[in-house]
A and B are shown apart, each in its own frame.
Chain A
Amino acid sequence: MADDMITEGMLDMFIFETEQGLETLENICLESRDAGEFDDDHVNEIFRIMHTIKGASAVMMYQNIATLAHKLEDVFYYIRESKPENIPHAELLDYIFEVSDFVNAELEKIKEGAESDGVADDLIEQLDKYLKKIQGGKGAAKKEEQAAAPAHAPEEEKPHFYIAPVASDSSHFYSIFITYSPDTDMANIKAYIAINALKGIAEDILFMPSDIISNPDSAAVVLEFGFKIAIQTTEDADRIMELINTSSGIEQVEINECTGQEFLEFCTEAESKAPASTAGEIVLGPIEQPTIRTDAKKPEAITLTEEEEKGVEAVKEAQKEKAEKPAPKKKKPAKKAETQSFISVNIKKMDLLMDLIGELVIAQAVVLQNPDLKVPGLDLSNFKKAAAQLTKISSELQEAIMAMRMMPLKNTFQKMNRIVYDTSKKLGKDIELEVIGEDTEVDKNIIEHISDPLMHLIRNSVDHGIESNEKRASIGKLEKGKIVLEAKNEGGQVWISVSDNGKGLKRDEILAKAQANGLLGNRSERDFTDKEVYNFITLPGFSTKKQVTEYSGRGVGMDVVVKNIQEVGGVLDIDSEEGRGSTMTMKIPLTLAIIDGIIFSVAGTNFVSATNTVTEFIRVDEEQLIIEPDGEEYVMIRDICYPLIRLNEFYHIAGGKEKISDGIVIILSYEDRKVAVFADGLAGEQEIVVKPIPSYIKKVPGISGCTQLGDGSISLILDIGGLVDKK
């Protein structure tokens, strides 16, 4: 979806808020599924949501949405007022989902700049029938009362309409800065001419100072501070230059393309500066109550409101205003978590911040490990204290910044609710979804990459993993079909797993297919471990499904899932028990981690491993080294046998110590396994910034990234899992 931004702020807001409302609506519905009915809070909330959507879409002139929302609102108005008993819940849920789907579909069209031409007449009719049904034979009289329901009256206030401009998606945003030579006469008029020239091509235009026509003193301001313009147009910078550069007196024109976001900021900035009536004096209006929110989606609308002077009525908070328009906003019972205030920030700024903190860590290391400090005889006690303080603050800063990029998986997981519901319903299976650890936080970047794979895994479980109700009954599975979606932190990784209690993977079937595809080579079937067998299903085109269903089985799924996971440096772990179920676990490293690392070297190449993976390092004697007949080496340490990996051999690095007693053995732990790694020596311990290996270089097994050490040299970061797997 990238960066296409609709900057008609009104449209943005409308889309955003409506989508939010619909999401809440869906969640309430899914929550109520087991209970079989809506409680009072639910009813009120749904009513409120539909009411808002109705009002907003009417203002924005989307009559189809407004009428549909109105109908559903009517239904809930009745439910709220008359509290009918035992209304068909599942049927109602279906209707609500259909409404939500319709509106979402229309929103998609609107987002793309297309017409909202959807027709919901059938749905409206169905809702009408449903409403009549639950009203029962309560008599015409009562129905008449409802028809004149008070809830509808307050809206007959002043109607407001927002006529969105005809969309053009090839708009660019530019910020223009014009400076005039100091002896220019009537600079303000010249500035106005520039604006006038641009109005013809502008879809939206703002400028500062804004009182160039009415206030002759503005000429001085323009001369001193220059003239700033922000413009939205389909034309390019050259055309703009052509249009502007016509007056004498212009010293310089700077035109920069900017993002929609920056354009918005200019607008709000321009609003806040009261016209500079006294040259140079700028009065900033107080910024009231920013209502802002973080959201993974792109258009990040900032709603700032300010008071403007000049005898114009103060503007109330845009947010409150909108909500209060139809009816006084009922304060929702505090069922939801405390409302927090949020700020939406441009992603680029966050990225910049992350880069800077990374550089800070490295710079800090360079200072703290500086060779100048190694001069013998220096008293560094004061320095050390100061250094400790610096380190402490820097650590806290890092944590705070990383926390900013982290978002809980909650949203992603909740989407899965709907998918399980839809898919299982269509297939006639009764499946429950349990979600654990949805508050686990993960870098925003990761969330974007795993959403699709996760959906695919869940669909797989529903479609192929869990047996149909009859089948389950016939084989004696009494418990309901269940899928457990879990997220947890493990070491420097986050593990997201999808487990089902279905039929599991059939080793024999998979091997047969692999055999047919010639994938087994010379190895006999018995030689393949279960994990290796399961991994076959991640090969492109591999599917033992005899039938391709709408949801899965085409064999184009699992390999794409794995690819997506690998793109964020993760792996897919498959575990299964035939007849009992399967578990797919995505193991993803936390990106841009800043971790404590232990550095060791092998023939001039430096490797780093996270300190928490290093169990111990020890010098080992020849006697402790065991060489198996097949050439595999092990070391015996305190009666435990560890497989040994010689880094220089493993990575074909020339040089490096040969004798076990000359180098150092480092025990690294990976999940519940431990492995011994042989290196020349330890080079130190340092906080490192995990950086990805540049994209040009293809992934090297066993290496998960690189970093810069205190002395500026580059070190490779070991990925224990990769090491062990490759071996």
Chain B
Amino acid sequence: MRTLIAEDDFASRKFMLKFLSKYGECDPTVDGMEAVDAYLMALEAEMPYDLVCLDIMMPKLDGYQALKAIRDIEQERNIPEDKQAKIIMTTALNEGANVNKAFNLGCVAYAGKPIDQAKFENVLRKLELI
């Protein structure tokens, strides 16, 4: 599984990297803009990411914007649904409104911080990523 991580906080980024590296290659980025760039590059190289983890509070482009951007790109390039990246938001914000907004924009899961690793793994399994 190829994973893209977008997280501006150093400690959180390290945590995600460590946690997800066991399932495959992990690429870290530090803000929304870099994340979208990385996503595009991977598409072009025909090695797209299977999983994208987006923090919501990031500089340059925030999580929602990055999420939308990625979905827009996928639409433009007519990428079929089953080939679209699975996107999980990782964030400290847990309000219903935030969560629903994220779902509406096209993420498949929303993980509140501090992340429950067991549940996260469970979801990855359900999504057939691992």
Q: Which residues of A are interface residues toward B (Cβ below 8 A)?
A: 7-11, 13, 61, 158-166, 168, 192, 195-196, 199-200, 202-206, 213-214, 232, 264, 267-268, 271, 301, 303-306, 308, 312-313, 315-316, 318, 321-322
Contact = CB atoms under 8 A, between A and B. Distances in A.
5 contacts: A11-B94, A165-B115, A232-B92, A301-B96, A312-B68
Which 7 interchain pairs have the tightest Cβ spacing?
A165-B112, A163-B111, A161-B109, A8-B94, A9-B95, A9-B96, A213-B59
Interface stretch (B20-28, B35-43, B44-52, B119-127): B119-127
Given A200-B11, A315-B104, A165 B109 contact: no
Contact of A164 (B59, B64, B68, B119): B119
A303 B59 CA distance: 28
A8 B110 CA distance: 12
A160 B103 contact: yes
Contacts of A205: 57, 92-93
Contacts of A303: 96-97
B105 interface: yes
A259 to B, nearest CB: 15
Contacts of A213: 59-60
A321 B116 contact: no
Contacts of B101: 308, 312, 315
Contacts of B11: 200
Contacts of A318: 96-97, 100
Contacts of A61: 119, 122-123
B93 A206 contact: yes
Contacts of B68: 312-313
A313 B64 CA distance: 10
B109 A264 contact: no
Given A200-B11, A204-B93, A8 B122 contact: no
A312 B65 CA distance: 8
Contacts of B119: 61, 163-164
B99 interface: yes
Nearest to B103: A160
Contact of B92 (A202, A264, A312): A202
A593 B113 CA distance: 47
B122 to A, nearest CB: 6
B123 A203 contact: no
Contacts of A13: 96
B114 interface: yes
Nearest to A264: B95
Contact of B116 (A163, A199, A202, A312): A163
B113 A321 contact: no
B13 to A, nearest CB: 12
B100 A315 contact: yes
Nearest to A314: B104
B76 to A, nearest CB: 16
Contact of A7 (B94, B105, B122): B94
